[in-house]
Structure 1
Amino acid sequence: MSESSSKHSIYVGLFIFIGMIFLLGGILMVGNLHETFKKKMELVSVFDEVNGLQTGANVWFSGVKIGKVRSIELNKNRKVLVTLAIETKAQQFILRNAKTKIGTDGLIGNKVVVIYGGTENSDPVRDGDTLRVGSTYSTENLMNTLQKNNDNLLAITTDFKTISHKLTMNEGTVGKLLNDNGLYDNINAVALSLNEASKKADKLIGSLNDYSAKLNKKGSLANDLVTDTIVFNSIKKSVSELQKMTTTANAIMDNLKKASSNPNSTIGVLLHDEESGANLKNTIKNLESSSEKLDEDLKAAQSSFLLRGYFKKKEKEATKANSEK
């Protein structure tokens, strides 16, 4: 009996021991306590505010968890000193000029510390190095941005509401255009007038094209005027002569005006002195009567026997000259 009891106790103790091992392993796996035994290095970052970051929060680098937040303290400058426990195997990937920021594990998840950036020519971090803080875009900032967008959207919808109200109430140019048939008819008439003007402009352009085509047609007057330098020079010379004639005529008229305005000149006397004009008329009448008497005397001389032969001879010579032509 004693031997069987001792064996039973051994089996029970062995079973309890194995159970304790499995229990410890489960606790380590569930609680992630196995990371406690990994080698760690410390990095420090100083934030203005941590937005609810807590001790034990995860540290991420390129989407991979590489450590935890070991401690959060306030320093004498009222800054937040955050100490990070980083796995030593990730040390080679974190550069000394990398930056840190506060992020979230999902949109509304727990706060985490994100390490990012760094240039390739920089050395890896060392234990105790301080990383600079980069720009942090928190949920609060996101909500503020969304609030501003909501305010802008509200202002836009309010403006659209005002515009639509004015349109329906026949206010403004567009509202009157939509509701006033008379204004629409006027605009339609203007559009038709513009259409007619466009057609006339097309006809005018067609006429100009025809005229330009005739200019290019050789032998035509228009082409000669444009291309023939002889015709052009002749026209130019004619215009120059006309200008000279016009200038001369203007000078003659100016002289006549000056002479007529002078009562001492011959023309001035004829225009202004009535007695001289009357004498000139009598003189012209006397000349006319004298010429008539002279004609009568010449006819009488032709009929006289002394000069009759002479005049007949002259008449025969004139007739012979006309026949030879």
Structure 2
Amino acid sequence: MKSAEKKRSVIVGLFVLIGIIILLAGIFIIGGQQNRFGGAIKVTAIFDNAAGLKKGGNVWFSGVKVGTIREVNFTPASQVEIVMVINDESKEYIRKDAAAVISSEGFIGNKMIVIEGGSSDIPFVEDGDQLRAKEGNDTEAMMATLQVNNENLVAITNDVKALSERVRRGEGTIGAFFTDSLMAENMKAMLANLNQAALNSRKVSENLAAFSEKLNSEGGLAGDLLTDTTIFASLKSSMAQLEDITQNASLMTDNLSEATGKLKEDDNALGLLLNDEETAAQVKETMKNLEESTEKLNQNMEALQHNFLFRGFFRKQAKREEEEKQDSIKAAADINK
């Protein structure tokens, strides 16, 4: 009986001892996480909104947990002061100009503080320093933005639904395009015309390519014009001559214009004859007198031919003319033989 009680006492003692050991281990683990044991410094940061931070929250730096949140206090300016405990091993990597940002562990996890930045030429933080507060990604703001985006998406979906319904009923240009058979036929005809235009453009391109190939071939006129310097020099000389001819023609045209202008004036003989009626009448009278004088002269010459003093002279002259005529006819007949 005593041995059984003794055995029971030993077992109970073992369980109690194990419980005490577990309790002490838990205390040390939690105390270590809360920096209750060992060296640590306190730093603060002041935020306009704590965004759900609580005592015991984690403090991270470069992805490593470096401390915990010790206190969350209000300031006289209605702001929130966050007191953080940073362990001694980590304080040597955090600079005085580092920034404290409120973040969360996952999308909907607990709130925590993330320490960012810091210049290499700035001293390390010390006990009682205040870090610069920086606005982070607030989950509530993100959710509000997401809600607004969802509402906009619903509105866009409704608009698309209404538009598709109008298209189904055949309203508007697009609706008519999908429902009107005549428009569909017109579209087919237009596409056929575009296809034909594309074929024509292709043929034109092929013809241009063939023409350019002929231009580059040797022996052709176009190729000689593009490559033969002698022909180019001849063409250049011909163009110069044409330019001279053009200039001379222009000069001649100017001279003719000037002469025509002078014909309209009365200070020269031709202009006087063309423009003065009195002078023209005098010239006509003179021509008439000359015609009458010529007729009288012919009569006088005929009278002289019948005069016995000049009759022999005129007969000899007529005989000489007849002989010359006969000689001409004989020479022509000899040539024809």
Give the TM-score taking structure 1 as reference length: 0.71
Partner of 1:131: 131
* Structure 1 counterpart of 2:172: 171
Distance 1:200 1:254 in 2: 58
2:56 match: secondary structure: coil
Q: Report deviation, 1:47.
A: 0.8
1:265 equivalenced with 2:265 (yes/no): no
What CA deviation, in whole Å up to 9, does each residue of 1:138-163 have, x standing for no partner? 11121123234334434544554565
Whole-angstrom CA distance in 2 between matches of 1:257 and 1:182: 73
Aligned residue in 1 for 2:99? 99
Give how far 1:83 is off: 0.7
> Residues 100 and 131 of structure 2 are in contact (CA less than 8 Å); yes or no, is this contact kept in structure 1?
yes
Q: Distance in 1 between matches of 2:69 and 2:111?
A: 11
Is residue 53–residue 111 contact of structure 2 (8 Å, CA) maintained in 1? yes
Count of residue pairs the alignment pairs up: 308
Query: Residue 121 of structure 1: CA displacement?
Result: 1.8
Match of 1:184 in 2: 187
Give 1:28 shift: 3.4
1:323 is aligned to: none
TM-score (norm 2): 0.69
Q: Which amino acid in the other structure matches residue 249 of structure 1?
A: L
Give the C-alpha shift of residue 80 in structure 1: 0.4
* Residue equivalent to 2:331: none
Q: Secondary structure at the match of 2:264?
A: helix
Structure 1, 63-72 or 285-294: larger mean CA deviation: 285-294
Residue identity (%): 23
1:214–1:220 Cα contact (<8 Å) kept: no
CA-atom RMSD, angstroms?
A: 4.7
- By how many angstroms is 1:237 displaced? 2.0
Paired with 1:32 and 1:253, the residues of 2 have a C-alpha distance of 126
Q: Structure 1 residues 188 and 15, CA, compared in 2 at 3 Å: closer, same or farther? A: closer
Please list the CA deviations of residues 175-211 of structure 1 after superposition, one character each: whole Å capped at 9, or x if unmatched: 5566514652674476368558747965589779858
Q: CA deviation at 1:71?
A: 0.8
Tell me: CA distance 1:224–1:90, structure 2 relative to 1, closer, same or farther (3 Å): closer
Q: Which runs of 5+ in 1 are unaligned?
A: 320-325
1:216 paired residue number: 226
The correspondence of residues 53-68 of structure 1 with structure 2, limited to 5 A, is 53-68=53-68
**Residue deviations 1:41-91, cap 9 Å, x none?**
211111111111111112122222222211111011111011112222211
In structure 1, distance between residues paired with 2:58 and 2:191: 72
**Residue equivalent to 2:250:** 243
CA contact (8 A) 1:43 1:131 kept: yes
The one-letter amino acid of 2:249's match is L
2:299 & 2:230 partners in 1: Cα distance?
A: 62
Tell me what 1:254 maps to: 261
